[in-house]
Amino acid sequence: MPSQFISFEGIDGSGKSTQMTLFAEHLKKIGEDPVLSREPGGSIGAEEIRKLLVEGDPDRWSPYTEMLLFTAARRDHLERTILPNLKSGKIVVTDRFADSTRVYQGVARKDLEKTVNTLHDLMINQDPNLTFIIDIDPEIALTRGLARKSGEDRFEEFGLEFQKNLRIGFQKLCKTHPGRCILINGHGSTLSVAQRVWSAYEAHFI
C-alpha cells in the first residue's frame, strides 16, 4: 500500500482520538505499520508549543496569535514527522491537522478564514489524503471533554456556543472538500463508530 496521510477531526470530546487509535489497530491487523501523531504536537518543538495553546485561560491568546502559534507547531510537525514518514512509504495518521485551524481560528473564534488559508498555502501547503470528521452533539461532547479534567481544556472552557459553532464549521468543511473530508456519525457505541470509519476508509482506498 502506498504512503497515505490521514487525519481525524471533530469538536472537543467528539471521540476522534479514540477512533484514531482503533483505526490504527485495524491497519495493523491488515499488516500495516501506521505512524500515529497529533496536533498541536507531533514533534519535539511542536509539543513545546502545544503547552502554550491548550493550557491556561481561554483568553490567553487572541485568534490571530493562536493562528500563528498553531502554524508554527504544524510546520515543525510537517518537517520532522509527517514528510519523512510519507517519503518512507508509511501511513501517517494524525489527531488534528490544518482543518482544525480552519475551523477553530478561521470560523469559530474569528472570521479569519481567508487569512488562515493564505497562511496555510504559504507555510504548510499540505493536506491529508483523507480526513474523518467525527460528528456529535456538542452538549454530549462538551460534557465528555470537561469530565476528562486533562488540564488541556482551554477550548472546552469557551463554552457550549463555541462548540456549536465548531460543529457547524466542520460540517461546512465537508461540503467544501467532499473528495477529502468524510463526516462520520459519532453517536452509538465506540465499536459501531469505528466500523463506520473503517467502511469509509475501505470505500476510499481499498
| pLDDT-derived band at 144, boundaries 50, 70, 90 | confident
Give the integer Cα–Cα distance in Å for 18 and 160.
22
Instruction: Supply the pLDDT for residue 197.
Output: 98
Residue 35: pLDDT over 70? yes
Q: Which residues pair with 8 in a beta bridge?
A: 95, 132
The pLDDT tens digits for 78-135 are 999 999 999 999 999 999 999 999 999 988 778 898 999 999 999 999 999 999 999 9
User: Residue 53 belongs to what domain range?
Assistant: 4-205
Q: How many domains does the chain have?
A: 1
Q: Which of 125, 99, 108, 100 is nearest to 163 (CA)?
A: 108
Q: What is the pTM of this model?
A: 0.93
The CATH number of residue 140's host domain is 3.40.50.300
Instruction: Supply the pLDDT for residue 156.
Output: 82
